[in-house]
């Protein structure tokens, strides 16, 4: 973890959506941020080093940790396989709000919009996956 | 041991009451199955057999052990509904549009000439002010860059119209605050080079636009004459309550609200008088003429109109049931209700809707031909049991309803079903009068469907169940504002939506943009327009003085009496007349259900094989607790 104690304390006080990803910055990040911004909700992004113990579903773990740290209790986790998970801190860790392999810009934007809509208590959009992706999962 | 079954074939459900005679009569089972086929036809037989089997099973006997089956003498009543839209807003050459995206950008009001963002800047130097149009092909960052550039070079950009959902993104990247409306689908249809106004409400939630929704505001912005101002009223009216809007003026364009010829109805009274009413006169006018010509011999609709089609459809259906010539089948009642229907505005740019006025109509056709004997024969064949056609439906319903604790003659019943509202009154000397009126549950469904713009299936759900809003992953807010917390999180598809609260406690998301308040108001208004109106109408018909006020006691029975709010609405409305009105509780056990089936059994008890219009004194008194014991197994 690169951030300091004081920073996380301050972050928890400010209601923001947290985005957490592992390794290099994912290409989808920019579009996720656009999705959140268009809905008018604040957010912060956080890069983490690869976890040594490498959990089975890193994006879910990342999302839950992000949600737990978020003042809005909403987190997005992105792993190296482009799996994106939207999570809420009050949900059981193994039951995220939405989970999908995201490849297109519009899917990524929908992930961001949904995180913001969760904060605004508005209906979520379905995140359409290509049939090809679904088969691979 | 003797078993007797009363069977009531209704429009939507077939009900059975089963009586055992073992040195005294006792109700042993009640059952319900959906009516198969159209009421009053041989196709009802499978439903009858199924309902009997269910009742037998509850009583722990085989269906063969039933010694006698009693059928009601049901005159088939067919109710049908139709809607006729009578106004239409037409925007020729796409002049003026309104739009309300969820996340507009910026704030304020801007006017200027419509200019594409990709235009060469040098051609714009003469424009005093401009509104830029950003098509989907232009990235929001590029659009914001261009806007900043142009503003820096002295072009007065007053607002933006954006195709994608990018308004906030653009607003966050420009140096000047302008109103930005986005998600304008058919952006290519916006006429370039024309004056336009864009407005986004300032401040937080709850604020709405105030210039473009005001006809004089529009007149000020576009320098309209009084004649032109009159024409844009449909536009300003359609924009009331919006958080944002765009209005574009073209010289050739025009908006008008016109009346569609909706056809006419001819009401023929039994006295031979007839009157023709244009449907576009509205529901009040139609109903006034119906009341004036009561009792009605027939009603005819103009060919080619929806209403005319509906009336002939009802006639044809009845013809099939009874085998009568169409010319012999008469429409005996209609009910008209004024309503509003959302219609796509002709020539709109972003699929705007306007609320058009419409008239909903329910018709009722009744026949004196009784095809019951065919059903009786068929049931007798299938089950090898003696079948008796025992009595007229209204009389049986009265008799069954008398088992509701606290009732006594004289009193009236209101039988509210799907296709028709029926009523019967029994006076001190046990004479019964009855009536069938058009308009019941199906009409309510139609009104909800058309006013909210949903399909029939969803409208049926919206009629039957209260709605709530899923506010957080763990809580829902009900219609009355109370909040329920859930043990488990809702599905992501349900979050943030309006849901139906089903009887089993499950939440069914409704694909509907309306608020809980709108759904509730629409639903309650539809029920009130149909059931409260018809309750008063029916009670007036069956009173000897033709006055609703005549009645003292009214018992509500039938499917719609099970509704979660209709009985209280009617009780409330009738309380004004000093009428005691409540939901029936047949045999103290079955609620408003099973009145006719129970009545059939009661009328047979004591070896009465015939039952005429009068209720024998002894029987009316005998019901309730003495001879007939309450259903112990329901």
Write out pLDDT tens, residues B334-365.
999 999 888 776 656 666 677 788 899 998 88
More confident residue, B607 or B449: B449
Chain A closest CA to B519's CA: distance in Å?
Answer: 17
Q: What DSSP line would sit under B281-312, residue for residue?
A: G-HHHHHHHHHHTPSEEEEEE-TTSHHHHHHH
Instruction: Report in angstroms the alpha-carbon separations of B138 from B99, B134, B371.
Output: 21, 6, 70
Q: E strand or H helix at B266, and its extent?
A: strand B264-269
CB B274 within 8 A of CB B268: yes
- The least confident of B15-19, B307-311, B588-592 is B307-311
More confident residue, A60 or B622: A60
Residue of B172, B472, B497 with shortest CB distance to A37: B172
pLDDT for res B623: 40
Contact between B168 and A97 using a beta-carbon 8 Å cutoff: no
A126 touches chain B (CB under 8 A): yes
Torsion of Cα atoms, B349 then B351 then B357 then B358, to 10°: 130
pLDDT at B380 over 90: yes
Q: Which of B104, B140, B488, B492 to mutate to test the interface with A (most CBs of A within 10 A)?
A: B492
Distance CA B359, CA A23 (A): 64
Phi, psi values for residue B506, rounded to 5°: -80, 160
Kindly identify which residue of chain B lies nearest to residue A96, measuring between CA atoms.
B492
Give the pLDDT band (50/70/90) at residue B633: very low
Instruction: Report in angstroms the alpha-carbon separations of B495 from B45, B166, B341, B345.
Output: 45, 24, 28, 31
Contact between A88 and B489 using a beta-carbon 8 Å cutoff: yes
CB B417 within 8 A of CB B560: yes
pLDDT for res A106: 92
Contact between B473 and A34 using a beta-carbon 8 Å cutoff: no
pLDDT for res B4: 93
Kindly identify which residue of chain A lies nearest to residue B475, measuring between CA atoms.
A121
A117 touches chain B (CB under 8 A): yes
With H, G, I as helix, E, B as strand and everything else as coil, classify residue B238: helix
CB B234 within 8 A of CB B257: yes
Chain B closest CA to A56's CA: distance in Å?
Answer: 23
Contact between A124 and B166 using a beta-carbon 8 Å cutoff: no
What residues of chain B lie within 8 A of the CB of A39, using their CB? 103, 168
> Residues of chain A whose pLDDT is less than 50?
1-9, 131-137
Q: What is the pLDDT of residues B277-310, one digit of tens each?
A: 988 888 999 999 999 998 899 999 888 777 888 8
Contact between A39 and B168 using a beta-carbon 8 Å cutoff: yes
Instruction: Report in angstroms the alpha-carbon separations of B575 from B361, B416, B566.
Output: 27, 18, 14
Contact between B473 and A117 using a beta-carbon 8 Å cutoff: no
With H, G, I as helix, E, B as strand and everything else as coil, classify residue B413: strand
Distance CA B40, CA B420 (A): 15
Q: What is the pLDDT of residues B183-210, one digit of tens each?
A: 888 888 788 888 999 999 986 556 889 8
The residues near B66 (Cβ < 8 Å, ≥ 6 apart) are B3, B4, B5, B18, B52, B56, B383, B385
Q: What is the pLDDT of residues B86-137, one digit of tens each?
A: 777 665 544 556 677 888 999 999 999 999 999 988 888 888 999 999 999 9
Kindly identify which residue of chain B lies nearest to residue A33, measuring between CA atoms.
B169
Q: What is the mean pLDDT of residues B37-60?
A: 90
Count of CB atoms situated within 10 Å of the CB of B335: 27
Q: What is the pLDDT of residues B360-371, one digit of tens each?
A: 999 888 776 667
User: What stretches of B31-161 show up as alpha helix (H) in DSSP?
Assistant: 45-59, 140-152
Q: Which of A115, A123, A124 to mutate to test the interface with B (most CBs of B within 10 A)?
A: A123
CA B544 to chain centre: 32
Contact between B489 and A90 using a beta-carbon 8 Å cutoff: yes
Q: Which of B143, B475, B495 to mutate to test the interface with A (most CBs of A within 10 A)?
A: B495
What is the CB-side half-sphere exposure of residue B317 using CA atoms within 13 A?
20
What residues of chain A lie within 8 A of the CB of B169, using their CB? 34, 37-38
Residue of B172, B489, B496 with shortest CB distance to A117: B496
Distance CA B452, CA B136 (A): 31
pLDDT for res B414: 96
Kindly identify which residue of chain A lies nearest to residue B169, measuring between CA atoms.
A38
Distance CA B241, CA B213 (A): 8
More confident residue, B631 or B115: B115
What residues of chain A lie within 8 A of the CB of B173, using their CB? none
Tokens 């090809």 belong to: A132
A122 touches chain B (CB under 8 A): yes
Lateral strand order in the sheet of B68-73:
B25-34, B13-21, B2-9, B68-73, B386-392
Distance CA B382, CA B357 (A): 51
Instruction: Kindly state the percentage of chain B with pLDDT values over 70.
Output: 89
Burial of B237 (0-12, 13-18, 19+ CB in 10 A): middle
Q: What is the pLDDT of residues B466-493, one digit of tens each?
A: 999 999 999 999 999 999 999 999 988 8
Burial of B34 (0-12, 13-18, 19+ CB in 10 A): exposed
Q: What is the mean pLDDT of residues B16-21?
A: 91
What residues of chain B lie within 8 A of the CB of A30, using their CB? none
Contact between A121 and B471 using a beta-carbon 8 Å cutoff: yes
Chain A closest CA to B502's CA: distance in Å?
Answer: 20
Contact between B167 and A38 using a beta-carbon 8 Å cutoff: yes
Residue of B140, B167, B472 with shortest CB distance to A121: B472
Contact between A34 and B169 using a beta-carbon 8 Å cutoff: yes
Distance CA B402, CA B621 (A): 9
β-sheet bridge partners, residue B339: B358
- Of B79, B107, B118, whose CA–CA distance to B314 is shortest? B79
Residue of A38, A90, A118 with shortest CB distance to B495: A118
Count of CB atoms situated within 10 Å of the CB of B216: 11
β-sheet bridge partners, residue B337: B360
More confident residue, B338 or B82: B338
pLDDT at B613 over 60: no
More confident residue, B320 or B566: B566
Contact between A90 and B102 using a beta-carbon 8 Å cutoff: no
Q: What is the pLDDT of residues B527-557, one digit of tens each?
A: 999 999 999 999 999 999 989 999 999 999 9
Q: What is the pLDDT of residues B135-160, one digit of tens each?
A: 999 999 999 999 999 999 999 999 99
CB B302 within 8 A of CB B278: no
For chain A, how big is the Rg over CA atoms in Å? Answer: 14
CA B44 to chain centre: 27
What residues of chain B lie within 8 A of the CB of A40, using their CB? 103, 168
Q: What is the pLDDT of residues B221-254, one digit of tens each?
A: 988 889 888 877 777 877 888 888 888 877 665 6
Give me the total of CB pairs closer than 8 Å, taking one residue from chain A and one from chain B: 47
Q: Which of residues 30-89 of A touch B (CB under 8 A)?
A: 34, 37-40, 86, 88
Contact between B166 and A126 using a beta-carbon 8 Å cutoff: no
pLDDT for res B631: 37
More confident residue, B395 or B519: B519
pLDDT at B596 over 70: yes
The DSSP letter of residue B44 is: G
The chain-wide mean pLDDT, for chain B, equals 86
- Of B367, B372, B405, B408, whose CA–CA distance to B387 is shortest? B372
Q: What is the largest CA-CA distance in chain A?
A: 45
pLDDT for res B150: 95
With H, G, I as helix, E, B as strand and everything else as coil, classify residue A86: strand
β-sheet bridge partners, residue A3: none
Is the pTM for the entire model greater than 0.90?
no
Tokens 């209204």 belong to: B394
Phi, psi values for residue B141, rounded to 5°: -70, -40
Cα four-point dihedral sign B325, B330, B331, B332: negative
Kindly identify which residue of chain B lies nearest to residue A41, measuring between CA atoms.
B168
β-sheet bridge partners, residue B13: B34
Residue of B165, B471, B492 with shortest CB distance to A97: B492
Query: Does the predicted interface ipTM exceed a cut of 0.90?
Result: no
More confident residue, B613 or B468: B468
């Amino acid at each position: 973890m690169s951030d300091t104690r004081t920073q996380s304390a301050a972050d928890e006080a400010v209601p923001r959506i947290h985005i957490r990803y592992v390794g290099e910055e994912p290409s989808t990040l920019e579009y996720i941020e656009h999705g959140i911004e268009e809905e008018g909700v604040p957010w912060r992004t956080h890069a983490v080093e690869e976890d040594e113990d490498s959990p089975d579903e890193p994006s879910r773990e990342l999302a839950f940790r992000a949600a737990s740290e978020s003042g809005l209790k909403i987190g997005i986790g992105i792993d190296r396989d482009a799996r994106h998970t939207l999570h809420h801190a009050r949900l059981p860790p193994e039951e995220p709000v939405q989970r999908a392999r995201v490849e297109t810009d519009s899917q990524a934007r929908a992930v961001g919009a949904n995180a913001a809509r969760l904060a605004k208590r508005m209906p979520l959009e379905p995140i359409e996956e290509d049939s090809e992706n679904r088969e691979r999962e | 041991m003797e078993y007797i079954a009363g069977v009531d074939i209704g429009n939507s459900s077939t009900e059975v009451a089963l009586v055992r005679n073992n040195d005294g009569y006792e109700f042993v089972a009640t059952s319900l199955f959906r009516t198969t086929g159209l009421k009053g036809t041989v196709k009802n037989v499978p439903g009858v057999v199924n309902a009997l089997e269910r009742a037998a099973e509850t009583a722990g006997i085989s269906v063969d052990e039933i010694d006698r089956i009693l059928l009601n003498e049901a005159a088939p009543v067919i109710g049908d509904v139709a809607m006729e839209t009578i106004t239409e807003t037409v925007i020729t050459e796409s002049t003026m549009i309104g739009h309300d995206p969820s996340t507009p950008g910026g704030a304020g009001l801007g006017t200027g000439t419509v200019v594409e963002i990709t235009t060469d800047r040098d051609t714009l130097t003469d424009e005093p002010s401009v509104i830029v149009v950003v098509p989907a092909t232009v990235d929001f960052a590029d659009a914001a860059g261009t806007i900043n550039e142009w503003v820096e070079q002295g072009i007065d950009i007053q607002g933006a119209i954006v195709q994608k959902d990018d308004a906030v993104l653009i607003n966050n990247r420009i140096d000047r605050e302008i109103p930005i409306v986005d998600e304008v689908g058919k952006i290519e249809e916006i006429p370039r080079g024309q004056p336009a106004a864009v407005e986004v409400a300032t401040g937080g939630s709850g604020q709405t636009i105030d210039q473009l929704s005001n006809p004089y505001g529009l007149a000020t912005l576009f320098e309209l004459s009084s004649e032109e101002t009159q024409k844009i009223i449909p536009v300003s009216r359609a924009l009331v309550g919006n958080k944002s809007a765009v209005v574009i003026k073209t010289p050739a364009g025009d908006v008008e609200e016109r009346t569609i010829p909706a056809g006419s109805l001819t009401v023929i009274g039994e006295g031979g008088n007839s009157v023709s009413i244009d449907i576009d006169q509205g529901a009040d006018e139609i109903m006034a003429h119906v009341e004036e010509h009561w009792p009605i011999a027939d009603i005819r609709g103009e060919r080619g109109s929806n209403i005319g089609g509906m009336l002939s459809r009802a006639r044809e259906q009845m013809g099939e049931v009874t085998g009568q010539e169409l010319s012999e089948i008469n429409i005996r009642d209609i009910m008209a209700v004024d309503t509003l229907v959302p219609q796509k505005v002709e020539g709109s740019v972003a699929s705007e809707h306007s609320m058009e006025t419409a008239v909903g109509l329910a018709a009722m056709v009744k026949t004196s031909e009784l095809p019951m004997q065919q059903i009786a024969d068929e049931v007798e064949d299938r089950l090898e049991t003696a079948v008796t056609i025992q009595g007229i439906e209204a009389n049986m319903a009265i008799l069954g309803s008398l088992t509701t604790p606290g009732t006594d003659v004289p009193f009236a019943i209101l039988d509210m079903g799907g296709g028709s509202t029926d009523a019967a009154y029994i006076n001190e000397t046990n004479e019964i009068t009855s009536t069938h009126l058009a308009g019941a549950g199906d009409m309510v469904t139609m009104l909800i469907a058309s006013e909210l713009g949903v399909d029939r299936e969803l409208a049926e759900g919206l009629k039957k169940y209260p709605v709530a809003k899923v506010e957080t992953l763990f809580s829902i807010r009900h219609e009355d504002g109370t909040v329920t917390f859930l043990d488990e999180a809702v599905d992501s598809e349900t979050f943030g939506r309006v849901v139906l609260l089903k009887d089993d406690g499950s939440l069914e998301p409704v694909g509907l943009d309306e608020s809980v308040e709108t759904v509730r108001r629409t639903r309650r208004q539809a029920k009130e327009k149909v059931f409260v109106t018809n309750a008063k109408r029916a009670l007036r018909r069956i009173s000897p003085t033709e006055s609703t006020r005549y009645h003292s006691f009214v018992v509500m029975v039938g499917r719609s009496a099970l509704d979660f709010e209709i009985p209280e609405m009617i009780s409330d409305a009738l309380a004004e007349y000093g009428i005691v009105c409540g939901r029936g509780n047949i045999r103290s056990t079955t609620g408003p259900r099973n009145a006719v089936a129970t009545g059939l059994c009661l009328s047979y008890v004591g070896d009465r094989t015939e039952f005429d219009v009068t209720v024998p004194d002894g029987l009316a008194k005998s019901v309730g607790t003495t001879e007939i014991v309450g259903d112990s197994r329901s």
